[in-house]
Structure 1
Amino acid sequence: MIDASRIEFHDLGTKGRYVYADGGEEAELTFTKAGTSQIIIDHTEVPTAFRGKGVGQALVAHAVETARMQGLKITPLCPFAASQFRRNPEWQDVLAR
């Protein structure tokens, strides 16, 4: 498993990203803000070096925890993020309906 404390958040105005970097490789989850109460996860990219290590799941989990703290809902348009929401029923509280 990875050290989730190494995930960084980058606020890019109407967009944002969560990034995990190690050894010159970078994984990211990107999202678009939909108003002040929702984000849309639109892309998750995990390089081959990180696959199978839980990096993608950690990025989505980080977005979920941030959404909970900020009272946001998430629409997971990214197929990977959507699959993580299906696998983690405990995240349904932040899933936009």
Structure 2
Amino acid sequence: MEIKKGENRFYLVDEQKREAGEITWHLFEDHVWVIDRTYVSSDFRGQGIAGILLDTLAEYARKEDIKLIPMCSYAEKQFKIKKEYQDIIY
């Protein structure tokens, strides 16, 4: 699997270039993004892909000094239960 960055999204593709999943965001204000969608294709569910995508976005946010607002249900739940995201929550 390979992680790629597109416009307002990170996504994972497999060796056959099939898109396995994505996490998307939109700008709320300067240096604040709203996570609005986390999606994993049915062929790839149960493999931890949503977590990989959220971790990738979290690492990027830290590096770029961006705060995140988790609005999609997956991100919202993960931000509540995992302390490692508390430093980037808006």
Whole-Å separation in 2 of the counterparts to 1:45 and 1:56: 7
Alignment pair present for 1:72 and 2:62: no
Provide the rounded CA distance (Å) in 2 between the counterparts of 1:8 and 1:62: 10
Q: Which residue of 2 aligns with 1:7?
A: 3
Normalising by the residue count of structure 2, what TM-score does the alignment of the two structures yield?
0.89
Report how many residues are paired: 88
> What is the DSSP-based 3-state SS (H/G/I as helix, E as strand, rest coil) of the residue aligned with 1:7?
strand
TM-score, normalised by the number of residues in structure 1: 0.83
Matched, 1:93 2:84: no
1:30-68 deviation per Cα after TM superposition (whole angstroms, max 9, x unaligned): 100122211100011101121111100110111110010
Question: Does the CA contact (< 8 Å) of 2:11 and 2:19 recur in 1?
Answer: no
Percent identity, please.
Answer: 31
Structure 1 moving runs of 4+ over 4 Å: none
Determine helix, strand or coil for the equivalent of 2:47. Answer: coil
* Partner in structure 1 of residue 9 of structure 2: 17
Unaligned runs of 5+ in 1: none
Unaligned runs of 5+ in 2: none
